[in-house]
Amino acid sequence: MQTRSKSGIFKPKRLLSLFVALAEFEPTSFTQASKFPHWRTAIAEEYNALMANHTWDLVPLYPKQNLVGSKWVYRVKYHSDGTVERHKARLVTQGFHQQARLDYHETFCPVVKPATIRLILSLAISSRWTIHYLDVKNAFLHGHLTEDVYMK
């Protein structure tokens, strides 16, 4: 029987340190996140993307308007080897009161399945198409609402 150790394959030991524990910390509030520079950077990237895409307009608050609350949600994204890839911050609306790990477990980010990528690449190669790489950090549905939504 061929085992990993006989093949010379060893799983590296992960030594935990205070630095790793702080890097993997997922804050539950803006106050907690604002104390760490990597979370402040993630918040700034998300905010700048929202502003660049003209996601909303600031309007005066009128009485009897129903305001939808908002909340920052923080997630650490990892490489396949377990190292930290990046810190993500997303501004989400609160249609109801949510609690981390109870009402939601992850933020949603649409992705393409690997089989689809393989299919497109094989079509591109067989048709001699030019292939360009594009990294999309934020994806937005570009459309117009027919009703007003007021966010706090």
> What tens digit of pLDDT does each residue of 129-138 get?
988 877 666 6
On whether residue 100 sits in a domain, the answer given is yes
- Residue 19 pLDDT greater than 70, yes or no: no
Phi-psi region of 111 (alpha: psi -120 to 50; beta: other; left: phi over 0): beta
152 pLDDT tier (thresholds 50, 70, 90): low
Looking at every residue in the chain, the average pLDDT score rounds to 77
4: phi then psi, degrees, rounded to nearest 5: -65, -45
**pLDDT, average across residues 42-69:** 82
On whether residue 119 sits in a domain, the answer given is yes
On whether residue 89 sits in a domain, the answer given is yes
**Amino acid 66: pLDDT:** 63
Is 88 within 8 Å of 107 (Cβ atoms)? yes
On whether residue 140 sits in a domain, the answer given is no
On whether residue 2 sits in a domain, the answer given is no
* Residue 137 CB contacts under 8 Å (≥ 6 apart), including other chains: 45, 49
Please tell me which residue, 141 or 53, carries the higher pLDDT value.
53
On whether residue 24 sits in a domain, the answer given is yes
On whether residue 3 sits in a domain, the answer given is no
Query: Token digits for 81?
Result: 């080897």
Q: Which domain holds residue 124?
A: 18-57+65-133
Number of domains in the chain: 1
Please tell me which residue, 116 or 21, carries the higher pLDDT value.
116
21 pLDDT tier (thresholds 50, 70, 90): very low
How far, rounded to the nearest angstrom, does the alpha carbon of residue 109 sit from its chain's CA centroid?
6
109 pLDDT tier (thresholds 50, 70, 90): low
**Amino acid 25: pLDDT:** 82
57: phi then psi, degrees, rounded to nearest 5: -120, 140
Please tell me which residue, 95 or 97, carries the higher pLDDT value.
95
Three-class DSSP category at 114: helix
- Residue 150 pLDDT greater than 80, yes or no: no
